Chains A and B, each alone.
Chain A
Amino acid sequence: MMETCEGPRASRRGFLLGLAATLAVGPTRLAFARTEGDARLVVVILRGALDGLYAVQAYGDPAFAGLRGVLALPEPGQENGLLDLGGRFGLHPAMPSLHGLYAANEALVLHAVAGNYRTRSHFDAQDLLESGAGQRMTSGWLNRALAAVPNPEQARMGLAVGLGLPLLLQGPTPVGAYAPPGLERPAPDLVYRVAALQAPDPVLGPAFAEGMRARGFVAETLGPPGAPDRDQLNFPRLAGSAARLLAAPDGPRVAAMELGGWDTHAGQANRLPPLLRSLDEGLGALKTGLGDAWAKTAVLVVTEFGRTVRPNGNNGTDHGTGGVAFVLGGAVAGGRVVADWPGLGGDGLLENRDLAPTQHLRGVAKGLLRDHLKLPEAAVMAAFPRSAEAPALRGMVRG
């Protein structure tokens, strides 16, 4: 990089042009045709394993109340009762926005769903959930799927929302990143010189360049950063900011967000409602922030696994298997609970402890890549290798 450090101003420009050229002309992206439409996909990962039977209670199952004990809420219509989802299932009352979307036929609830793994380890399961494969890979399924989508000039197709870059979006395709500012920012000129120093580093160079790109883009779309705010990393606000970035005509098309804290081994009835409320407000903020683009949006909410059907010794739940996922958005043919219900009574439970999984999480994601992002079959297979047992779920998207 020495030769680009000759006169400060000219070199900086030259350096940036060179950088942009390297990043924009990747070999893989040119191999695919431009996809139809203007679809947006948001993936929300709930880390720690949401208790699906708590968020979406199977009150119509005769064994439900007995097995769940203190974790069973009153049926719909009763005081503090569930929000009805069509007679057999009820949504936790802390999720009125999601229920409103369901009532407007813009939300699907998928129950008794699980990934293609049976580990009860959070960390293995999150890795496999995000890898989309049978073993941990160094890239995530959403990143591999993005290889099939052409990058607009100004912004990356994919956007990691928050301080980190989840495995889901790690991989060969460059993605953007956004988090609200927390510190005073140095002059742009200094940032350019730091970028020049880091450019030769194979790991730091590209990541730093992407950080600059993301901030430049964010400044254009959201305006200059305001005063630091302790609360800005909270999920609803982050979701609102992400939605506005996604709504921009030249903005990213795919975003990943994460929300942690779902590992409720104790006192679940006190710990989950605020989290469910935060998730629900975030989903509402996505719709508000996306504006007209909501009609072209699908949001997939997933967690690594479900939890034990019976409460444990502390009115919490331990690591389980089958759980719940949500698909919502203006592009979604919603208003239904999609479940091949295994039943909780008799021998219905997996290993006499977990909700038995009867549908594949990978099939849900594949369905969205194929029918919503309209990716070619080869791209879907690259995202989810060796996933023949999990065919793409049909009928989730309008049209």
Chain B
Amino acid sequence: MIDAMPHLAVIRFGLGPRLNEPLPTDPRAWLAAQVTTAAPPPEGPSVSETLKARDADIRDRDANGGTPPGQARVVPIIRADQRAWAERRLTATQPYRERLVDFWMNHFTVSGRNGGTRFMIGAYEREAIRPHLTGRFADMLVAATFHPAMLNYLNANTSIGPNSPAGQRNRRGLNENLAREVLELHTLSPAGGYTQGDVTEFAKVLTGWSVAERAEPFNTVFRPQAHEPGQKHILGRTWDAGQESAEQVLRFLAQQPATHRHLAVKLARHFVADDPPPGAVRRIEGALRDTDGDLGAVAAMLPTLEEAWAAPLSKLRPPKDWVLAVCRAMALPPERAEAAIGGMASLGQPLWSPPQPNGWPDTAEGWAAPEGLMRRVDWANTVSARGQQLDVRVVADAALGPLLRAETVTAVMRAGSVREALTLTFLSPEFMRR
């Protein structure tokens, strides 16, 4: 029996093998090392720089009678950030870390479907998610919630305390959106048993936190004149008014057992199985509880779950992971990053653009739609046209090793062209899964 562990490690916890690159000889140590030591983080514009670019775009447009005089400054920012995203994953030396980044980006979804958020998402990943990847969940929650991208996406930047000076002057008021999604999606989940009253009170706590989008500091600001005065009551606790209260509530929510449970279920679903094994959920939950939400401890623990190594591969690769796996299996050079970005879009998972705040689905049923699968053939057939120089048997072996089925080998070897053989490899059920 050939050892499947190296392939399982790279497929389950990574982005799939990259052609002509060696597999880890000690898969567990390879994963553990990615948790303890981080490669240099990606570079890119700060959120303030993106907001300044947006501000300049708006000024130009207004000066030009309402139509943009040329290409907006934010367009190359978005394009470069997306390219960098794909390039990093096509050649990742720490693919487990990239998977964790993508997991938390989806947990704390901000979406480019919102034009006022779109240009900030690269900065959001760099500033709110990556620094806390192996840090405290509470710190990531605070960083994500207060990031301009999140405040803008979920409308907190315009939520005003009705009894605050600004609320009294402008007759404007609360917007519940961020408060509700933090409780429902980012922390407790509905199983946590909060009420509409808790949502409203939390929305009041969050008032004042806004984004200076058209002026210095082009970043998150606290506007005391918009903060709702008076005590607020959430989940049976009382908080005094003030700038500190929002972070206090977030840190309180981060350590609730319901939050740990919710995160444990999502992590187990992502890395183990659509129906998370209860034992795995309990162990992740226990790790979160015992370490006060240390995401590094959790990241180190996930590869130690026996369930995570069970064969056969059970998770369906969503378009993002499947497209990246195809590109890596063909050793597509980073200069062709646009191919990956375009593939994700044509398969219904455009980068950084989930339709709703709950992010992309993380189960097979969310991605096994008939037409979506047919489009995978279309796309694989298109990209495989660039692989004429490849030895198909080598590609299939490198991508799947002992996981490759005899039926797939037969079909691949009988194919009439390299292009068809590659398409068949990438559409085999074992390649579609992780």
B-binding residues in A (CB < 8 A):
1-2, 5, 8, 47-48, 119-124, 138, 160, 162-165, 170, 176-179, 181-186, 190-191, 193-194, 196-198, 200-201, 203-204, 207-208, 210-215, 260-261, 263, 265-266, 312-314, 316, 318-319, 351
The interface residues of chain B lying within 8 Å CB-to-CB of A8 are 414
Query: Which listed residue (B175, B185, B381, B428) contacts A314, Cβ 8 A?
Result: B175
Minimum CB–CB distance from A166 to chain B (whole Å) comes to: 9
Check B371–A214 contact: CB distance below 8 A. Answer: yes
Question: Does chain A have a CB within 8 A of B159?
Answer: yes
Q: Of residues 393 to 414 in B, which have CB atoms within 8 Å of A's CB atoms?
A: 406-408, 410-411, 414
Check B379–A123 contact: CB distance below 8 A. Answer: no
Max chain B Cβ within 10 angstroms of own Cβ: one of A1, A178, A183, A261: A183
> Bound complex: CA of A198 vs CA of B428, how far in Å?
6
> Bound complex: CA of A184 vs CA of B384, how far in Å?
12
Main secondary structure of the interface of B (DSSP, over half): helix
Question: How many A-B contacts are there with CB distance less than 8 Å?
Answer: 174
Query: Please, could you name 26 A-B residue pairs with CB atoms under 8 Å apart, sorted by A?
Result: A1-B407, A5-B410, A47-B355, A120-B180, A120-B196, A122-B357, A123-B358, A124-B190, A138-B365, A164-B366, A165-B369, A165-B372, A182-B346, A186-B381, A197-B408, A197-B428, A200-B407, A203-B364, A203-B368, A204-B432, A207-B373, A210-B370, A213-B370, A260-B355, A314-B172, A314-B175
The interface residues of chain B lying within 8 Å CB-to-CB of A163 are 348, 369, 371-372, 375
Check B174–A184 contact: CB distance below 8 A. Answer: no
Check A194–B424 contact: CB distance below 8 A. Answer: yes
The interface residues of chain A lying within 8 Å CB-to-CB of B174 are 312-313, 318
The interface residues of chain A lying within 8 Å CB-to-CB of B408 are 197
Check A203–B316 contact: CB distance below 8 A. Answer: yes
Minimum CB–CB distance from B343 to chain A (whole Å) comes to: 9
Minimum CB–CB distance from A320 to chain B (whole Å) comes to: 10
Closest to A213 in B: B370
Minimum CB–CB distance from B13 to chain A (whole Å) comes to: 22
> Bound complex: CA of A390 vs CA of B159, how far in Å?
38
Given A191-B377, A260-B356, A170 contacting B365 (CB threshold 8 A): yes
The interface residues of chain B lying within 8 Å CB-to-CB of A263 are 177, 356
The interface residues of chain A lying within 8 Å CB-to-CB of B175 are 265-266, 312-314, 316, 318
Q: Of residues 36 to 74 in B, which have CB atoms within 8 Å of A's CB atoms?
A: none
Check B374–A212 contact: CB distance below 8 A. Answer: yes
The interface residues of chain A lying within 8 Å CB-to-CB of B366 are 164
Minimum CB–CB distance from B174 to chain A (whole Å) comes to: 5
Closest to B420 in A: A190
Question: Does chain A have a CB within 8 A of B248?
Answer: no
> Bound complex: CA of A333 vs CA of B293, how far in Å?
58
